[in-house]
Structure 1
Amino acid sequence: MPPKSRAEAMGETREKLIAAARKAFAQKGFSAASMDDLTADAGLTRGALYHNFGDKKGLLAAVVAQMDGEMASRAQAVASQATDEWAGLLAEGTVYIEMALDPEVRRIVLLDGPAFLGDPSQWPSQNACLELTKQTVGRLLEAGRMKPVDVEAAARLLNGAALNAALWVAASDEPRSVLPKAIEAFHVLVSGLLLDPGQA
């Protein structure tokens, strides 16, 4: 077997650090996870962490990006099973909100992420979701399913509603009781965009 290239070795190091950090952040939270927690499990040094991510916050950003991407993929997979594009849009937002009950998602993405990385709507992973929502909204407008509205405005408000509902659920002392209220309100708000609300 030929020796690994520098790029392959760096990629493996990054993957190990992200996996170790994801485990530590889920168990202890970002603040309580020590640099040793983040490197020892991966069998690496602090130097490897600094070289690949700059600092602990940079590593958190990488973990959040990975998890946010997984959340988006899961939501899109559910949406693809829906009966039509409008039902898919609702399903995608709903499953995103439901993921706030996942302990790992709740702690890392929805609690520590905003606390230490700032406004989630500015994260690159969220911008990728926004682009997909814009495409869906555009198709629904062309099909005459939605009221005439600016595509980007509608997409940003749809994504924002799902994200803020998930943040509310995650921050709640009673997330399981808050979840159905959040989903019901999300459906009511989103259905206001339908040309005929009775189709929701």
Structure 2
Amino acid sequence: MEPSKTRRRAAAAARSNRERTETTRRALLEAARALFVEKGYGATSTPEVAAAAGITRGALYHHFADKRDLFRQVLDAEAAAVREDILAADRPGLSAQAALIGGAQAYLQAMTVPGRTRLLLIEGPAALGAQEALAIDDANAGRTLREGLAEALGENAVDCDALARLMSAAFDRAALEIDAGGDAARIRQTMLWTINKLLA
């Protein structure tokens, strides 16, 4: 067989293996997310996740070290999706203040995805501990908030790290209130009023 054909077949086989691996991993993450939302972290077992994904338990442990690792990766994906929605709201030409307000609205909307508030704000801190859950937020929505505040207010005007942590807590509380059936329009309006007061 010609060397070029051999290389092409090897490349195609490697690509096929990568695709199968990614499909398996995605199925496990989707099954785990559904179960963690429905039952909570503590009541969900890895055999249940494997069965829901139609994959062996051994395959699950090939992709994830343990249930905690699987859960952490589910949370990472949720937090990254929130961050992407916030970044998508920052259109070219927006002022720093308008971008901050747009990001605030995007965060509250992103957190209305079914199960997301429970995963990130309830199950996450309970299963991983407050510090690790905060680290996930700091790398995603917390980071966008900190950067937005620094740009809108100026680094020297205030301790932006401290302000971002306080505002992040307020946004999380707003998301929890909305998830619990609170008046979403009123809560959003109140959060935007708070930001406008900060920027005044």
TM-score (normalised: structure 1): 0.74
Residue 149 (structure 1) shift? 1.0
| Aligned equivalent of 2:151, options 119, 132, 139 | 139
Residue 93 (structure 1) shift? 1.7
Higher-Rg member (1/2):
2
Equivalent position amino acid for 2:157 in 1: P
- 2:173 & 2:159 partners in 1: Cα distance? 21
Question: 1:3: which partner in 2?
Answer: 13
- The reply on whether 1:153 has 2:162 as its aligned counterpart is yes
| Contact 1:134–1:151 under 8 Å retained in 2 | yes
Structure 1 residue runs of 5 or longer lacking an equivalent are: none
Count of residue pairs the alignment pairs up:
188
Residue 11 (structure 1) shift? 4.5
- Report the CA distance shift for 1:118/1:164 in structure 2 as closer, same or farther (over 3 A): farther
| Aligned equivalent of 1:109, options 105, 120, 130 | 120
- Report the CA distance shift for 1:103/1:134 in structure 2 as closer, same or farther (over 3 A): closer
The CA RMSD over aligned residues, in Å, is 3.1
- Report the CA distance shift for 1:121/1:188 in structure 2 as closer, same or farther (over 3 A): farther
- 2:38 & 2:151 partners in 1: Cα distance? 42
- 2:96 & 2:133 partners in 1: Cα distance? 24
- 2:136 & 2:113 partners in 1: Cα distance? 22
| Contact 2:90–2:99 under 8 Å retained in 1 | yes
Note the 1:1-200 alignment, pairs <5 A.
1=9, 2-4=12-14, 8=18, 11-80=22-91, 83-119=94-130, 122-142=134-154, 148-170=157-179, 172=180, 175-177=181-183, 179-194=184-199, 197=200
- 2:104 & 2:35 partners in 1: Cα distance? 28
Structure 2 residue runs of 5 or longer lacking an equivalent are: 1-8
- 2:177 & 2:93 partners in 1: Cα distance? 26
Residue 69 (structure 1) shift? 0.7
> Structure 1: which 4+ aligned runs deviate by more than 4 Å?
9-12
Residue 183 (structure 1) shift? 2.1
Equivalent position amino acid for 1:74 in 2: D
TM-score (normalised: structure 2): 0.74
Equivalent position amino acid for 1:14 in 2: R
- Report the CA distance shift for 1:59/1:98 in structure 2 as closer, same or farther (over 3 A): same
| Contact 1:69–1:125 under 8 Å retained in 2 | no
- Report the CA distance shift for 1:118/1:132 in structure 2 as closer, same or farther (over 3 A): same
